[in-house]
């Protein structure tokens, strides 16, 4: 039945509820929410009803409507059993299609609970604002089962607190308005089996004005220079902006901070009055004068205590902060090393441990306890609304909190902007790295990094956890698309992206408003994990074990990091994976514990001078107890720990380990010096707040033009029988397939959320839209159910749906086969007309069984938001120039398969990529001999550009002959030639191509 049917009359309620007569005479009658007589069904989201949830399949409780003779109201109660290991409970969501409920007239919510005196804590949440019950603010309160039998639990709305550890939409307005309520939820106790019974959820009492009116201040922290006067604005706010009906008074008084009254500031006290009828937004100002002296000092605090009558008081006491002054670390004329040394010498152990700690934004709430080195946004952890201005405001708020610490050390905020500012709605989303590798264009890689950096920094974020320098060696890995390719030489060539992100290698550009601190990840060997070696949940390969000789480690996996260090990379992130070096006797050791690699190889032999940041909760995977996790990772060389929700535990444990002598003070000082050095380099001490001058360029035509070019250059033409591509505007084109008109599939994982999602949730152009915008005569039928007759050519866009990390591992709910629907679309369209098949995916898909029936095949990778770029090459506005960054296998049985393997017989070799250029080189063996000689001359002369052009001419010539004849004798030297090209051995590369030519 509809919820409105439950709004019973006062007379009926008096008869039903024995306690109704006890209510205050002037209170409104109680309003029932749930009687549990069966009027609200058990259901599943998002329908109206009661539904269960939990952290795994065993955690949701079992519910029933049970007849009870002792039911406090009616004849039935809601009962159930539970056995919860993680978290679990149940929710009643109100109908999303109906108006939200208005609870603002009442004092609170009450219900009957059948107690067992278990001592368990039961959380009760209410859902306020937003679009529906699953997109609303959560406000939480709790009661304890410390009684036996039925008891009525009363929770005034004033007792509910905003949840800071989890919000499904990141918060609406952080105000419990009560006018748009979408339901409630109950979280049951963890770790014990139990049963419960509940009855008669209802609203009671008359709302106090303090529920509708609150007093806030313009900021929780007010930094001022010594001698200046702080102006603290005190603001009256009301629900629905209604005037207050009763006066509100605010008594204020300074005192209790680290500043000394009379010496550092002039004490003030008094009372502010907001008379009855005062409008919401009415403000008063309290002036707090500070005093100047001649001493150099750290920052000092002056709390302004507020006592409020007639409204809800601020959640915390505002503080005036007298800025630190006169200390050497604040002197911009000094070299950074001297500033770091001075600041370090003044810090205590707890402050140093704080600098080594990184927390998730959602864990710190408003951030009143910030004494941390860093905050981050995990994938999908965004402010609401998800706009550039909201990001900047949020981060400025955190930075303001940091100003209340002794030395006002700014935070360095980080995000995973791995293909553009991908957490931000409306940002320019680039192809994932696998597509950038396919472009073989180092300047393009740098340009995409520059756009990403500009958009990230314009929202106040100075640190990007990118680029990934993994060398992917097995396409079953769910992170394959994060790699530039399978050849370390290709990865090396694409590291120009670091300069796009950071600027010049000496770090002088980091202060700019369009550059960010970059991160090389994941050190080292994450791309080489063996299939079946992962021990993380249901993952099959991600976070597994990489087993290599020392030479293989150096040549394949360490090589990109040597280049990154030379390019001035600011931070490095170790891998979740384990490293097993053949013959070292240690076996498989988690990378966060490998001091020989972090301290020895990275910081020692490579000379890395930045700081090492752990991966998300990675230390929890180390052996031993928590103290062992902390000391092992820190002693191995990890400088800052990403401990999203356990940041207090980490900082406390680190202090204990130092005091116990298990972590040296020298090691702590090294870590903190590295962190502070990068903060000074970024200019955060002088400019901690967001510079939003570049915000107008986010998602701009200029930025999208770079992404469009990247999308075009990433397209790899694998087959083109009969020159089906490029298309002609005069042709009638039939477009089908699951990925033709789906921006979410096109952008892949790490887009708005960690895993990404299908659908058009961000701003951009799908491939179908690009084809239409290019002027094509296009018919679209996703499943190819529309009639195919009368069309000249088909374009079938198929491939994967989004995933990230080990969630996307083959064998973990994924494979390398096209879906049944995609196969059916390919079969139908390609049987009816000439066809081009585009595969939108993060890795090769197995299409050998259908290849004979496909005229043209394109590896589109994950091209980002600019489908126009794909249309550009399909219609010939740009030629196809991309090359395979990884080997395309014939079957899953061949995996792993990589360039350089002794046995190498793929569907398409590494480096393969046909072109639609109007002029393709002609010639034969004699031409190749001449090209080889010229390339060798260019190599001796260190004429890289000429050498590359000569090898490209030879490659295109060979492809003309070899297309359709790709045997092992052709594929192996062909792939080897591309590796030789990337390592500067141009003459040998052409010789290998000549070998492939002879075998074709």
**Matching residue, tokens 């409105």:** 4
Radius of gyration of the chain, Cα coordinates, nearest whole angstrom: 32
Q: Positive or negative, the Cα torsion across 106, 109, 111, 115?
A: negative
Is the CB of residue 169 less than 8 Å from the CB of residue 390? no
- In 566-618 the beta strands, taken as DSSP E runs, fall at 571-574, 578-581, 589-590, 611-612
How far from each other are the two terminal CA atoms of the chain, in whole angstroms?
74
Catalytic residue among 487, 805, 855, 995: 805
Determine whether 701 is exposed, middle or buried from the number of CB atoms within 10 Å of its CB (0-12, 13-18, 19+). Answer: exposed
- List the helix and strand counts (H, then E) for the chain: 25, 37
Is the CB of residue 84 less than 8 Å from the CB of residue 123? no
Q: Verify whether residue 98 is a known catalytic residue.
A: no
Question: Residue 747 and residue 220: Cα distance in Å, rounded?
Answer: 39
- In 31-75 the beta strands, taken as DSSP E runs, fall at 31-34, 49-54, 62-67
Question: Residue 522 and residue 510: Cα distance in Å, rounded?
Answer: 22
CA angle 586, 591, 597 (to 5 degrees): 75
Is the CB of residue 433 less than 8 Å from the CB of residue 445? no
Question: Residue 44 and residue 50: Cα distance in Å, rounded?
Answer: 8
Catalytic residue among 300, 615, 657, 742: 615
Question: Do strands 137-144 and 88-93 pair parallel, antiparallel, or not at all (unpaired)?
Answer: unpaired
Is the CB of residue 382 less than 8 Å from the CB of residue 761? no
- In 163-218 the beta strands, taken as DSSP E runs, fall at 181-187, 193-204, 213-217
DSSP string, 445-481: HHHHHHHHHHHHHTTT--EE---B------TTSTTGG
Rounded to 10 degrees, what is the CA torsion of 390, 396, 399, 403?
Answer: -140
Residues in contact with 644: Cβ distance below 8 Å, sequence separation at least 6, in sequence order? 358, 359, 360, 362, 363, 376, 378, 616, 617
Q: Positive or negative, the Cα torsion across 214, 218, 219, 224?
A: negative
H or E segment to which residue 131 belongs? none
Question: Residue 103 and residue 100: Cα distance in Å, rounded?
Answer: 10
Question: Residue 377 and residue 361: Cα distance in Å, rounded?
Answer: 6
Work out the widest C-alpha separation in the chain, in whole angstroms. 106
Residues in contact with 345: Cβ distance below 8 Å, sequence separation at least 6, in sequence order? none
The 10 Å Cβ neighbour count of residue 659 is 11
Residue 591: is the preceding peptide bond cis (ω within 30°)?
Answer: no
124, β-bridge pairs: 141, 186
Q: Verify whether residue 297 is a known catalytic residue.
A: no
Question: Do strands 229-238 and 121-128 pair parallel, antiparallel, or not at all (unpaired)?
Answer: unpaired
233, β-bridge pairs: 285
Question: Residue 903 and residue 180: Cα distance in Å, rounded?
Answer: 65
Question: Do strands 229-238 and 76-83 pair parallel, antiparallel, or not at all (unpaired)?
Answer: unpaired
Residues in contact with 627: Cβ distance below 8 Å, sequence separation at least 6, in sequence order? 653, 656, 657, 662
Question: Residue 829 and residue 740: Cα distance in Å, rounded?
Answer: 14
Residues in contact with 842: Cβ distance below 8 Å, sequence separation at least 6, in sequence order? 432, 434, 480, 481, 748, 749, 800, 803, 808, 861, 862
Question: Residue 460 and residue 456: Cα distance in Å, rounded?
Answer: 7
Active site positions, annotated? 615, 805
């Amino acid at each position: 039945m509809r919820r409105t049917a439950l709004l019973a009359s006062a007379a009926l309620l008096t008869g039903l509820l024995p306690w109704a007569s006890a209510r205050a005479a002037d209170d409104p009658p109680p309003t029932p929410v749930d009687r549990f007589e069966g009027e609200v069904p058990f259901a599943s989201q998002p329908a109206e009803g009661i539904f269960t949830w939990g952290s795994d399949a065993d955690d949701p409780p079992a519910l029933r409507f049970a007849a009870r003779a002792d039911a406090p109201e009616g004849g039935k109660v809601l009962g159930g059993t539970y056995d919860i290991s993680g978290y679990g409970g149940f929710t009643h969501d109100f109908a999303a299609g109906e108006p939200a409920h208005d609870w603002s007239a009442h004092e609170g919510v009450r219900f009957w609970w059948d107690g067992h005196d278990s001592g368990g804590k039961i959380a009760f949440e209410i859902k306020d604002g937003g679009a529906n019950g699953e997109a609303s603010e959560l406000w939480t309160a709790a009661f304890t089962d410390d009684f036996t039998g039925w008891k009525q639990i009363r929770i005034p709305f004033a007792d509910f607190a905003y949840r800071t550890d989890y919000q499904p939409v990141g918060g609406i307005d952080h105000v419990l308005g009560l006018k748009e309520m979408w339901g409630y939820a109950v979280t049951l106790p963890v770790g014990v089996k139990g049963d419960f019974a509940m009855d008669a959820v209802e609203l009671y009492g008359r709302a106090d004005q303090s529920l509708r009116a609150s007093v806030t201040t313009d900021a929780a922290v007010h930094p001022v220079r010594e001698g200046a006067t702080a102006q603290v604005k005190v603001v009256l706010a009301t629900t629905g902006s209604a005037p207050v009906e009763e006066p509100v008074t605010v008594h204020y008084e300074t005192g209790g901070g680290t500043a000394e009254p009379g010496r550092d500031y002039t004490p003030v006290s008094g009372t502010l009055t907001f008379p009855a009828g005062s409008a919401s937004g009415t403000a008063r100002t309290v002036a707090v004068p500070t005093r100047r002296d001649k001493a150099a000092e750290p920052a000092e605090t002056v709390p302004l205590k507020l006592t409020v009558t007639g409204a809800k008081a601020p959640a915390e006491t505002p503080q005036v902060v007298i800025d630190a002054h006169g200390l050497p670390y604040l002197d911009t004329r000094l070299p950074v090393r001297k500033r770091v040394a001075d600041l370090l010498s003044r810090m205590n152990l707890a402050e140093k441990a704080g600098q080594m700690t990184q927390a998730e934004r959602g864990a710190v709430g408003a951030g009143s306890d910030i004494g941390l080195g860093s905050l981050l946004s995990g994938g999908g952890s965004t402010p609401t609304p998800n706009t550039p201005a909201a990001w900047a405001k949020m981060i400025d708020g955190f930075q303001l909190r940091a100003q209340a610490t002794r030395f006002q050390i700014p935070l360095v905020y980080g995000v995973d902007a791995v293909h553009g500012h991908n957490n931000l709605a409306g940002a320019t989303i680039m192809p994932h790295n696998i597509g950038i590798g396919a472009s073989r264009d180092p300047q393009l890689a740098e340009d995409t990094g520059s756009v990403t950096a500009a958009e990230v920094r314009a929202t106040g974020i100075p640190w990007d956890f990118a680029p990934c320098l993994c060398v992917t060696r097995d396409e079953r890995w769910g992170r394959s698309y994060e790699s530039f390719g399978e050849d370390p030489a290709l990865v090396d060539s694409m590291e120009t992206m670091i300069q796009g992100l950071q600027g010049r290698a000496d770090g002088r550009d980091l202060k700019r408003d369009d550059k960010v601190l970059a991160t090389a990840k994941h050190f080292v060997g994450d791309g080489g994990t063996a299939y079946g070696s992962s021990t993380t949940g249901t993952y099959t390969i991600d976070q597994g074990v990489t087993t290599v000789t020392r030479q293989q480690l150096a040549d394949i996996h360490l090589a990109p990091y040597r280049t990154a260090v030379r390019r001035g990379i600011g931070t490095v992130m170790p891998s979740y994976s384990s490293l097993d070096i053949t013959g070292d006797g240690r076996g498989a050791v988690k990378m966060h514990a490998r001091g020989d690699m972090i301290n020895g190889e990275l910081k020692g032999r490579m000379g890395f001078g930045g700081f090492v940041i752990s991966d998300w909760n990675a230390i929890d995977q180390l052996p031993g107890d928590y103290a062992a996790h902390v000391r092992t990772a820190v002693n191995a060389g990890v400088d800052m720990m990403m401990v999203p929700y356990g940041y207090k535990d980490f900082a406390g444990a680190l202090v204990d380990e130092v005091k116990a002598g298990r972590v040296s003070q020298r090691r702590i000082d090294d870590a903190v010096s590295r962190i502070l050095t990068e903060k000074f380099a970024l200019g955060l001490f002088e400019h901690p707040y967001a510079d939003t001058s570049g915000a107008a360029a986010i998602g701009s035509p200029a930025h999208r033009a770079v992404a469009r070019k990247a999308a075009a250059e990433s397209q790899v033409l694998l087959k083109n029988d009969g020159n089906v591509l490029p298309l002609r505007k005069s042709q009638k084109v039939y477009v089908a397939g699951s990925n033709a008109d789906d921006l979410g599939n096109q952008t892949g994982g790490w887009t708005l959320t960690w895993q990404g999602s299908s659908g058009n949730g961000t701003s951009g152009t799908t491939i179908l839209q690009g084809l239409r915008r290019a002027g094509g005569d296009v018919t679209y039928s996703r499943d190819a159910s529309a009639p195919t007759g009368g069309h000249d050519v088909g374009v079938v866009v198929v491939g994967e749906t989004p995933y990230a990390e080990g969630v996307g591992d083959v064998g973990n709910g994924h494979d390398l086969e096209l879906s049944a629907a995609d196969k059916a679309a390919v079969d139908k369209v390609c049987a009816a007309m000439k066809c081009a098949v585009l595969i939108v995916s993060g890795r090769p898909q197995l299409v050998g069984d259908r290849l004979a029936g496909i005229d043209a095949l394109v590896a589109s990778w994950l091209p980002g938001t600019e489908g126009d770029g794909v249309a550009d090459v399909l219609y010939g506005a740009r030629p196809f120039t991309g090359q395979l960054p990884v080997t395309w296998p014939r079957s899953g049985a061949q995996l792993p398969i990589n360039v350089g393997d002794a046995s190498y017989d793929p569907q398409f070799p590494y480096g393969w990529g046909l072109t639609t250029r109007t002029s393709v080189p002609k010639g034969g063996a004699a031409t190749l001999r001449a090209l080889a000689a010229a390339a060798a001359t260019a190599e001796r002369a260190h004429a890289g550009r000429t050498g590359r052009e000569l090898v490209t001419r030879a490659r295109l010539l060979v492809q003309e002959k070899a297309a359709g004849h790709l045997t092992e004798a052709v594929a192996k030297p062909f792939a080897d030639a591309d590796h030789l090209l990337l390592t500067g051995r141009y003459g040998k590369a052409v010789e290998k191509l000549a070998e492939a030519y002879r075998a074709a």
